[in-house]
Structures are given as structure tokens and as C-alpha cells.
Amino acid sequence: MSRKKVCIVDYGMGNITSMVNAFSYLGFDPELVSEPDLLSNYDNIVLPGVGAFAKAMYQLRRTKLDESIVEAAKNGKKILGICLGMQLLFSRSFEFGETKGLGLVEGDVLPFEKNIVETIPHVGWNNVISQNSLYDDFCGDYYFVHSYFCQPVDFDNITLSSSYGITFCSGVSLNNQVIGLQFHPEKSQGLGLRLLEKVINA
């Protein structure tokens, strides 16, 4: 039986190696794709990301990958955004001004407030709590690195939450088709790997 293919969007701002290793370990067939016309060939599209929102959106627009990701979502492809990749799914970010995102999830990306949290960025292991029965078996500690958090307009789309000064959305899903994870499951040991497997196979 052939392994399920996973497309990892390579736009120059992702933790590509660890993503490839994680999916390969799980028995998938991860392929790096940087050409927008090729995304339509895959049913599972992973958007990783490390760095600044505005630069990431610039890279996606420059390569026209933004249009292809949105089109793939419209055609029912599964889109998984991880860390910055989750934030890019949203309408806009207020990181260093206001920048329009992909708009697949209605909502904003907002900064942690310095007078509420101890340190920024939020780095390290933190507890994740299920807000959706599909994720009840995946509560636990995951590895985070971020200074901004996502706030969807529809709180019913929140699948996972965490606390860091405030309670924030650490997972989001629209019809189990457009999915975001704020933490790094690929760096979160066995629990994170099991969650990746669940998301792709669900």
C-alpha cells in the first residue's frame, strides 16, 4: 500500500528539515514544494513557518503560493498551518503594523502584552487543553516559540487552548479541513507526532 503524500510548502521561512523528518518517521511521503502550480496535486498541504508575519506573506505573495494555498482550500484540500503557518491562515496580523493574511480563518493575530506575561517570546513547553472532543486524547505539553497569538472571530473554531498570562487559542479548525497548531508538534516528542498523524489521517 502506498504511503499518503504530504506536501510541505517551501517558501524560505519554515523549519523544513524537522517537518520532513517528522512526517517520514510517521510513514508518510513528505515532499517539498515551492512551485504554486504543483500544490493542486496534493490532498494534504502543510504550511510551516518561523519568523515575521509580514516577511512570510511577502514571500508567499512574491511566489504566488498565497493564491495557490487559498485555491487549494477552496477545492477541499486539507491545509495544516504550524506556528507562524497557523497565524498566516488568519485575516490579518498586527505584528509591526497591520498585514493581511491568507484569510482562510476569520480573525486577528495579536501580540502578548508585556504587562501581563513574564517574558516575550513565549518559549518552551506549555500545557495544551482540548476544546473539541476530537482532540481529547491529545492534551498535554507541547513546545512553543511565539510572540503573537491567534484570536478567531468564531470561538467555536478553537480546538485547543493554552495559558500564558491569558488563555489563548493554540489550535483551530474549520470543518477539519483548514487546521492550525500554534505549537511545534514536530518538536513535541511522541505526543506531537501522534497529533500530526491524527490531523493528516482524520
Tens-digit pLDDT profile for residues 139-157: 999 999 999 999 999 999 9
Q: Is 184 one of the catalytic residues?
A: yes
Cell numbers describing residue 182: 500554534
List the catalytic residue out of 113, 122, 184, 197: 184
Summarize the confidence of residues 115-128 as an average pLDDT: 92
Euclidean distance between CA atoms 116 and 90, whole angstroms: 24
Encode pLDDT of 58-79 as tens digits: 999 999 999 999 999 999 999 9
Q: Is 83 one of the catalytic residues?
A: yes
| pLDDT at res. 114 | 87
Helix axes 65-74, 53-62, angle to 10 degrees: 90
| pLDDT at res. 147 | 96
Q: Is 197 one of the catalytic residues?
A: no
Which structural domains are found in the chain, ordered by start? 5-201 (3.40.50.880)
Helix H or strand E segment including 128: strand 122-130
Question: Which residues, in sequence order, are bridge partners of residue 40?
Answer: none
The residue among 82 and 2 whose pLDDT is bigger is: 82
Summarize the confidence of residues 116-137 as an average pLDDT: 94
| pLDDT at res. 3 | 67
| pLDDT at res. 37 | 96
List the catalytic residue out of 7, 83, 150, 169: 83
For cell 518561523, the residue is 50
Euclidean distance between CA atoms 18 and 127, whole angstroms: 22
What confidence tier does 118 reach under pLDDT thresholds 50, 70, 90? confident
Helix H or strand E segment including 72: helix 65-74
Average pLDDT for the chain: 95
User: Residue 1: pLDDT above 60?
Assistant: no
